Structure 1
Amino acid sequence: MNMGKFQKIEKQHSKQIMESKHKLKAKNNAFKQKQSDIRTSLVETPDDVVEESESDPENVQTDSSIYDTLLSSLKSSCGSFAHVYNKRQREQEGVSSEEEEESEPEVGSDDMSDAEVTDVEMETKEASEMEIAEEEEAEDVNNANDESGSGEECDTEVDEEEKVNNDASMNISSFKSHMEYILREADVQKLKEGKRKFISELAAYGMPMCKWKTTNDAFPKDDDKLASYSVKLSLQSQWQTIYKRAECCNFTSAMQSQFFSLCNSYQDILHSNKNAFVAGGQDDDLSVTDAYLLHLLNHVYKTRDLVTKNNARLTQQSNNGDKLINAAEPPRDQGFTRPKVLILVPLRSIALRTVKRLIELIPNSCKESIEYKDRFIDEFGAGEDDENGDLEDIAISEGQKQGKNKTSSKPADFQALFGGNNDDHFRFGIKFTKKTVKVYSDFYSSDIIVASPIGLITRIGEAETEKNKDVDFLSSIEILVIDNADVILMQNWSHIVSVVDQLNRLPTKQHGTDFMRIREWYLNGQARYYRQTIILSNFVNADINALFNRFCVNYEGKVKLLSVYNGVLPKVLLQVRQVYERFDCSSVLDVDDKRFEFFTKKIFPKIKDSLQGGIMLFISSYFDFVRLRNFLKEQNASFCLLGEYTKQSDISRGRTWFFHGERKIMLYTERAHFYHRYKIRGIRDLIYYSLPERNDFYAEITNMFEGVDNPTCTVLFSHFDSLQLERIVGTSSAQKMLKSKKQTFIFC
């Protein structure tokens, strides 16, 4: 009988939550009347529900057990949930109903109702503070009416699409099959162990020296027709309009078709050969970007269609009155919060370009109005070039547009990347309704969140110190995209790790959620096993690999790109004697110490007493930069600094000293070169204390020698530098250098 009471209370609280959600949109003068409705709903429960619970106690135990973790996490933020959770604990401990009645008021008593109403008032007040403005609330109500206004019309549209997609020749791991799959306990245990191996490989179309590898037995079949992937008809039509493609072939290339098939399979993806959007690489970049953006839109719109369709059916059932009691269990079609997609990009200029293209791919009927478009262009654009505010044009990179106005000695990729808005602190939401796209929507009413890593880290830090803020909007992310990961590496990769670690946690507050419609795998804490992560980078390094191996645990499997490199040594135009010195190291934990020891004992004694000066030390890590700086101070060496945190006045002074020989040694970091691309004059001897992550930097810096007879370049490396080494000397040469018994290698 105790279980029956719990089911009764749980039913009452679900009704209460529905009431509180409606209160967010209600006017103040109707609040007292709604309090009365809540009291009534807490008292009245259909007898059929109680009888059904009593007749089948096993089913009650199974259904209610999935709420234990959720009730525990929410009891501190809502008094009603604390009451249910405490009572649940007493039932499990075997406390009798008489003892329970003595310790707590009856469910139908006035005291209980007043307490419940007070909790609802607090929840309503808290949620109201999170709304942007009253005007936005009224607007959301209107949009909700538009979305669910005609249930029959919605059913007709969705059913027609289902019929067309079911007639397709292929059904490649569709949205439905992925979201409705139920993980077994054995599957979860295997995912926790993380021992999956890459067992299958496939040639990468459009990339002759690359291949895909997956943890599955086979790759998903790719097809050049969007209909084969169950893509929404409206998205198919818009895609054909943009690309002016015939129905027989929807994709622009085999590479785009293959990449979209991987995205549609919902596997975790590591694409480590995405070209930067510069001259010669823009088309390839746009092809990959369009493929994943189409996948994101398809996922968001299918989620919206499913919820809208179920809302219409529930509304129809509630209108039938007497049939409501016999209705089936509410559909489980939602997460804890609304946002389903998170896109992480490093700079505002890249966010502008991504959102422009995203809106371009949205069907015209769904973007009759784009709210806050002008504000978005003003805050993320470069200024004069975006005065027209036209989001429908295919974006040309901000750097290329700026390059038309003035010449620059900087490389093309630098102009393209930093020619626009370089700010790296931002976060905003995008909301889709039936006919409107809204930028800067409240996170809890957004479908897609676009942010920089530092932008989200700031919000996470605020949530830890301020009680009225939280990051529960990250609890239901189903697709994570990390674009331009190679650029984020030059910022602070630890921010990415912190953000990903925050995803898919149980929420700390209620947020007006209808818990009866939350998918079971959310309630069971398995959301991270359903989340798809797509990492796009120009290259891969140890940090990216670690994130992919540790945090990407999708039950669908993993797929990553492996590349064979020719190296960049042919780009070194000068006759430079390049000496590669390998030092031995048995553990990745000791590699920094072993490198420092090798430098201080083998390299520094040769340059300490140098009379000519002009010695540049290139360092990829800031921690090594600080370590070498302190060492040179101890040795009373003549040196200057050029790092990412060095003041501009000190940089100018140091470059002058180095050129005129007043300082013999210069310490130069990779991040400083990435952000400034200085042309350093006066180099006579170059030492790579550690290899750069970006292989083009090796050729750029080595070509800085001027007027030097027999210039020499010394490079330190170990087995743990294999990824950087193969991008510079080539995959074949790198393998020989790492396996050889020799420790010195010379390239001329």
Structure 2
Amino acid sequence: MESNEHKITNKSNESMNSNEPMDHKDSNELNDHKELKETNLDLLIKIIDKDKYYKRKREDKFEESNFTNFLIDSDEESEIELETKGSLLDKDIFNTFNEDYETYLRSNSDLESEILFDHPLFSSYKLKNVTPLVKYLLSLREVPNPLTNHSEYHINTLISKRINTLLKSKKIDIPELSSSIKYFFTCLNTYVDVFYLNNRIGTLDSIRFIYSLHIANHITKSSSTKSSSTKSSLNKSSMNKCTLNKSTLNKSSRNEESDVDERTEGFTRPKVLVICGLRCIAKDIITNLLKIIPTSKSNKNLERFEMEFSLSDEDLKEQNESYLKTKKAKDYVMTFSGNQDDAFKIGIRYESGLLNLYTPFYSSDIIIASPLGLRPLINVFIS
């Protein structure tokens, strides 16, 4: 009588003679296994799917596309149907993103030592010292799509128009967003600290696009706030010139009010720092930013960017062939395809509705760099 284990391994090869003794077949397979050198990929396939493992050994070859499709199928994120519960905040957290935490610290109410985070999109675990804003986020069960519900997320008008144009255009691909990625953007949009570990092969493009959208939304809002503050300051300055004969006390009071109104930015211009390990990752992020906020077509720095952050066609072809020969997994290929240089930095400035690349750091709004690229700057600052 054949064992159950033997029946399972025998399913993948219908051409084998079922009348052949079990011991003889097993010995042939064992000999074949000894002749072929075991690789890490072999061991991984053996753990995941024994049928594919034995088929690989019998045929003495393995098609990369089969394993790629297997990885993608096993890595796909299932879309969870959620019940509507809670709604997005009416106020724009951009203008008051510290208010919640400061109110929480000033309150005399007892701290909640523990709260159970039980959300259908993520694993359940306990949190300590939860602020009202975090409580609000935990209460959400379904959120609208940020690509089509701009007003609910208080997305800047310029960005909203651009996204609508991209959605209508067939030339530029905009990734579809799963429930968890929509929720991820909601967390970013409320300016809470986010540590996201749910990256998957099929959602990598969506994740990078969605936080590029958050970056673009932030810098355009910051620019609008600064412009409004500058106009307000000029108006107050002209009014003060007309009232120079008033008492010193009143003048001092006006200056204090003016100082409060003008606190719309920090001591330096940069607002966003993005740290990437490789140029190919930075290229994806910058490309997404340029989709959302275009740059001047006559900008020579755009050609420089393509040259410095991409690979030539020959190098890219050679890299792809190398990945096929060494049978790299799909997630490895997606992460490391392209320019793998790990020492770079680039400043990006938003001005007049356009992005400008390679701007000086202290006059940039966004800095995208690798740890090695930032190190010389930090050493100069320390010295």
Q: Into which bin does the TM-score normalised by the smaller protein fall?
A: 0.5 to 0.7
Flag the 1:211–1:172 CA change in 2: closer, same or farther, 3 A. farther
1:230 aligns with 2:151: no
Quick check: 1:431–1:441 contact (8 Å CA) kept in 2? yes
Look up the equivalent residue of 2:266 and give its one-letter code.
G
- Counterpart of 1:260 in structure 2 is 185
1:462 to 368, 380, 383: 380
Quote the Cα distance in structure 1 between the aligned partners of 2:189 and 2:313. Answer: 39
Alignment deviations for residues 346-390 of structure 1 (CA, whole Å, 9 cap, x no partner): 00111111111111112x5x75664511112111111238xxxxx
1:293 to 212, 221, 235: 212
- Counterpart of 1:304 in structure 2 is 223
2:276 to 345, 366, 376: 345
Query: How big is the shift at 1:317?
Result: 2.9
Flag the 1:339–1:401 CA change in 2: closer, same or farther, 3 A. farther
Query: How big is the shift at 1:226?
Result: 2.2
Alignment deviations for residues 19-64 of structure 1 (CA, whole Å, 9 cap, x no partner): xxxxxxxxxxxxxxxxxxxxxxxxxxxxxxxxxxxxxxxxxxxxxx
**Bigger radius of gyration:** 1
1:202 to 119, 128, 135: 119
2:232 to 309, 313, 316: 313
Flag the 1:416–1:219 CA change in 2: closer, same or farther, 3 A. closer
1:418 aligns with 2:336: yes
Quote the Cα distance in structure 2 between the aligned partners of 1:230 and 1:429. Answer: 26
- Counterpart of 2:67 in structure 1 is none
Look up the equivalent residue of 1:227 and give its one-letter code.
S
Taking only the aligned residue pairs, the percentage that are identical comes to 25
Flag the 1:339–1:319 CA change in 2: closer, same or farther, 3 A. same
1:440 aligns with 2:358: yes
1:381 aligns with 2:305: no
Quote the Cα distance in structure 1 between the aligned partners of 2:243 and 2:176. Answer: 48
Quote the Cα distance in structure 2 between the aligned partners of 1:253 and 1:323. Answer: 58
Query: How big is the shift at 1:429?
Result: 1.1
Quote the Cα distance in structure 2 between the aligned partners of 1:203 and 1:196. Answer: 23
Quick check: 1:343–1:450 contact (8 Å CA) kept in 2? yes
1:243 aligns with 2:167: yes
Query: How big is the shift at 1:182?
Result: 7.5
Q: 413-422 or 213-222, which moves further after superposition? A: 213-222
Query: How big is the shift at 1:274?
Result: 0.6
Query: How big is the shift at 1:407?
Result: 4.2
Quote the Cα distance in structure 1 between the aligned partners of 2:292 and 2:321. Answer: 28
- Counterpart of 2:60 in structure 1 is none
The SS at the match of 1:342 is strand
Flag the 1:273–1:198 CA change in 2: closer, same or farther, 3 A. farther
Quick check: 2:209–2:285 contact (8 Å CA) kept in 1? no
Quote the Cα distance in structure 1 between the aligned partners of 2:316 and 2:119. Answer: 35
Alignment deviations for residues 452-473 of structure 1 (CA, whole Å, 9 cap, x no partner): 11221232123333xxxxxxxx
Look up the equivalent residue of 2:264 and give its one-letter code.
D
Look up the equivalent residue of 1:443 and give its one-letter code.
F
Query: How big is the shift at 1:201?
Result: 2.5
Flag the 1:288–1:182 CA change in 2: closer, same or farther, 3 A. closer
The SS at the match of 1:462 is helix
The SS at the match of 2:258 is coil
Quick check: 2:271–2:365 contact (8 Å CA) kept in 1? yes
Flag the 1:189–1:337 CA change in 2: closer, same or farther, 3 A. farther
Query: How big is the shift at 1:271?
Result: 1.2
Quote the Cα distance in structure 2 between the aligned partners of 1:213 and 1:370. Answer: 51
Quote the Cα distance in structure 1 between the aligned partners of 2:227 and 2:381. Answer: 32
- Counterpart of 1:356 in structure 2 is 287
- Counterpart of 2:44 in structure 1 is none
1:274 aligns with 2:199: yes
Quote the Cα distance in structure 1 between the aligned partners of 2:372 and 2:219. Answer: 25
Structure 1 segment 570-585 matched on structure 2, within 5 A: none
Look up the equivalent residue of 2:193 and give its one-letter code.
D
Query: How big is the shift at 1:180?
Result: 5.4
Flag the 1:458–1:231 CA change in 2: closer, same or farther, 3 A. same
Quote the Cα distance in structure 1 between the aligned partners of 2:135 and 2:103. Answer: 20
The SS at the match of 1:286 is helix
Structure 1 segment 527-546 matched on structure 2, within 5 A: none
The SS at the match of 2:356 is strand
Structure 1 segment 517-528 matched on structure 2, within 5 A: none
The SS at the match of 2:97 is helix
TM-score by length of 1: 0.32
1:322 to 213, 231, 242: 242
Flag the 1:262–1:315 CA change in 2: closer, same or farther, 3 A. same
CA RMSD of aligned residues (A): 3.7
Alignment deviations for residues 317-352 of structure 1 (CA, whole Å, 9 cap, x no partner): 333421575574232111111111110110011111
Quote the Cα distance in structure 2 between the aligned partners of 1:294 and 1:305. Answer: 17
Flag the 1:243–1:460 CA change in 2: closer, same or farther, 3 A. same
Quote the Cα distance in structure 1 between the aligned partners of 2:88 and 2:335. Answer: 42
Quote the Cα distance in structure 2 between the aligned partners of 1:274 and 1:237. Answer: 29
Quote the Cα distance in structure 1 between the aligned partners of 2:208 and 2:287. Answer: 12
Look up the equivalent residue of 2:358 and give its one-letter code.
Y
The SS at the match of 1:416 is helix
Look up the equivalent residue of 2:209 and give its one-letter code.
D
Flag the 1:416–1:311 CA change in 2: closer, same or farther, 3 A. same
Alignment deviations for residues 380-432 of structure 1 (CA, whole Å, 9 cap, x no partner): 111238xxxxxxxxxxxx97995389843231333333332111111121101
The SS at the match of 2:358 is strand
Paired residue total? 267
Quote the Cα distance in structure 1 between the aligned partners of 2:300 and 2:126. Answer: 42
Quick check: 1:349–1:381 contact (8 Å CA) kept in 2? yes
Look up the equivalent residue of 1:273 and give its one-letter code.
N
Query: How big is the shift at 1:270?
Result: 1.5
Quick check: 1:443–1:449 contact (8 Å CA) kept in 2? yes
The SS at the match of 2:270 is coil
TM-score by length of 2: 0.60
Quote the Cα distance in structure 2 between the aligned partners of 1:400 and 1:272. Answer: 31
Quick check: 1:381–1:421 contact (8 Å CA) kept in 2? yes
- Counterpart of 2:4 in structure 1 is none
Quote the Cα distance in structure 1 between the aligned partners of 2:177 and 2:99. Answer: 32
Quick check: 1:346–1:453 contact (8 Å CA) kept in 2? yes
Structure 1 segment 93-242 matched on structure 2, within 5 A: 170-171=89-90, 174-179=93-98, 183=102, 186=105, 197=114, 199-204=116-121, 210=123, 215=130, 216-219=134-137, 221=140, 222-224=143-145, 225-242=149-166
Quick check: 2:270–2:362 contact (8 Å CA) kept in 1? yes
Quick check: 1:172–1:264 contact (8 Å CA) kept in 2? no
Look up the equivalent residue of 2:216 and give its one-letter code.
L
Flag the 1:188–1:368 CA change in 2: closer, same or farther, 3 A. farther
Quote the Cα distance in structure 2 between the aligned partners of 1:429 and 1:444. Answer: 9
Unpaired runs of 5+ in structure 2?
A: 1-86, 170-174, 245-250
Quote the Cα distance in structure 2 between the aligned partners of 1:198 and 1:450. Answer: 36
More strand by proportion, 1 or 2?
A: 1
Flag the 1:378–1:262 CA change in 2: closer, same or farther, 3 A. same
Unpaired runs of 5+ in structure 1?
A: 1-167, 276-280, 386-397, 466-748
Alignment deviations for residues 694-722 of structure 1 (CA, whole Å, 9 cap, x no partner): xxxxxxxxxxxxxxxxxxxxxxxxxxxxx
Quote the Cα distance in structure 1 between the aligned partners of 2:97 and 2:273. Answer: 18
Quick check: 1:290–1:357 contact (8 Å CA) kept in 2? yes
The SS at the match of 2:194 is strand
1:408 to 325, 339, 347: 325
Look up the equivalent residue of 1:291 and give its one-letter code.
I
Quote the Cα distance in structure 2 between the aligned partners of 1:426 and 1:340. Answer: 19
